[in-house]
A and B are shown apart, each in its own frame.
Chain A
Amino acid sequence: MSDFALGSGAASAPAGRPWYQNKKLDQYICFWSIPIFYNLFGLVFVPLSYMMPPRSPSSDMSEIVAFMQSPNLLIASSILILSLGLSAVGNAMYVSQIKRMSVSPVFIYAFLAGSMTGAIVGCLFPMFCFGLGAFRPGYDPEILAMLYDFGYLSFIGSLGCFCLNWGLLSLAIILDKNTILPKWLGYYTAWQFATELFAATVWAYKTGPFAWDGLMAFWFNMVIYVPWQIIVYVCIFKAIKAQPESELGNAQYEPKALYS
């Protein structure tokens, strides 16, 4: 369809084609689910449940019990269950760019595996630790304290799956001959791998800069992580936009109306 092949970087909705007939609509819909997901989580973790910023590992027992029994944790758990699939979509966005790179498919499969593991051990299970404590009032404070520890440790101390994923992404970008994503992003992603190494210390400390609420293990890691998370998705958005229409899976077909 040479009429639409306007060269790389061309919009895939040239003049005359409405947004819902954009050839890359599937990618854009998936992309826009990401800010929804992150904002939802931001709301759930911070103002709704006060889970974040992380509470101290050396809090008073009474504080721990009061926090763990907050009904907002149940709301948070429910929202998480419903939207956990969106983490899959967010991760799938990385994978679909990796697929376009000149690297081996091994990167795709390994990243998929890392995404599945990470969602359970680093997201679902920690949230459940908090939800379980809030679900039933009569639990022994010692049990609540254990759940509190388990929740924060697994949430902030989840290392390996993300080491894997960011290591894969970083290496893929650096090796990629098609330059789908910029090389400096590959190096920036390597630092996300490093933040996992920094976070390892939370398993050994209850106070100080290396605890899960510590200056180095949490706050400095956030300084490295948060801008990267925003930047990487901006780069992915640009990569989607720049993808030449001829490369698309539906390149040879006319876009259908969404509802026929």
Chain B
Amino acid sequence: MTNTVETASAEDFYGRDTQTSLPGESSMWFFILGDLIIFGVYFISYMYYRGQDQALFLESQQHLSQGIGISNTVVLLTSSLFVALGTEAARHGKRQHAYRLIGFAFVLGLLFPVLKMAEWLPKVNAGLTPGENLFFMYYYLMTGLHLCHLVLGLVILAFVMRDLRVSTAPNIKFIEAGGTYWHMVDLLWLILLALFYLMR
């Protein structure tokens, strides 16, 4: 090797070419992009209807608990961090370590639905149901849809953890795909936070 510049290895721990391949599976990216587009259309329509009746939306927004919103955000961001760390560890062959990191992310993720119920149930009891007005329909629909995505994400993370624990050569593409999905869930939440909780 007469090259004096050291080029980083183009292969990861498992001998895969990392420079040219897309992390995760391409079909997962298709799903993520499409999902973002669908959510995007809902966000835009929300903004449109909000513009039509700002007073109603502003008044309804006051009922939302910013505290729980922020808590959920912290939970998800931290969880995403651990998923990223875990994925990196998995790439370097540190299965045990990756398992623990992703396990921690999973436990954090479990907090989210709990907090969500703590947020929704008092509201529903107080009569603020999805049928109440347009703001609340959007609110419940969007956060509900997000919650479904999150629960699915938890299931995927569980399978990732199982793969790390059980197989000697974990399926890195699957782990990356799962991680990417989780980051998407996180991203969606940030937008929801901004639209529903913060924009006043």
Contact = CB atoms under 8 A, between A and B. Distances in A.
In the complex, is A directly touching B at CB under 8 Å?
Answer: yes
Contacts of A183: 25, 27
Contacts of A118: none
Interface stretch (A17-25, A39-47, A207-215, A242-250): A207-215
A187 B131 contact: no
A186 B131 contact: no
Contact of A209 (B26, B28, B45): B45
Interface in B142-194: 144-145, 148
A257 interface: no
A201 B34 CA distance: 22
A198 B141 CA distance: 8
B134 interface: yes
A191 B134 contact: no
A190 interface: yes
Interface in B33-71: 34-35, 38, 41-42, 45, 49
A101 to B, nearest CB: 15
Contacts of B31: 184, 187, 190
Q: How large is the interface on A (under 10, 10 to 19, 20 to 34, 35 or more residues)?
A: 20 to 34
B130 interface: yes
B45 A194 contact: no
A204 B137 contact: yes
Interface in B1-43: 25-28, 30-31, 34-35, 38, 41-42
Interface in A169-197: 182-184, 186-188, 190-191, 194, 197
B131 A209 contact: no
A216 B42 contact: yes
B97 to A, nearest CB: 28
Q: At the interface, is chain A mostly helix, strand, loop or mixed?
A: helix
B71 to A, nearest CB: 25
Contacts of A197: 144-145, 148
A194 B137 contact: no
Contacts of A194: 38, 145
A183 B38 CA distance: 19
Nearest to B134: A208
B130 A191 contact: no
Contacts of B38: 191, 194, 224
Contacts of A210: 134, 137, 141
A156 to B, nearest CB: 16
A112 B26 CA distance: 31
A197 B143 CA distance: 12
11 contacts: A182-B27, A187-B28, A187-B31, A191-B34, A197-B148, A198-B141, A201-B130, A201-B141, A208-B49, A210-B137, A216-B45
Which 7 pairs from chain A and chain B are nearest by CB? A187-B31, A183-B27, A204-B131, A184-B30, A184-B27, A210-B137, A187-B30
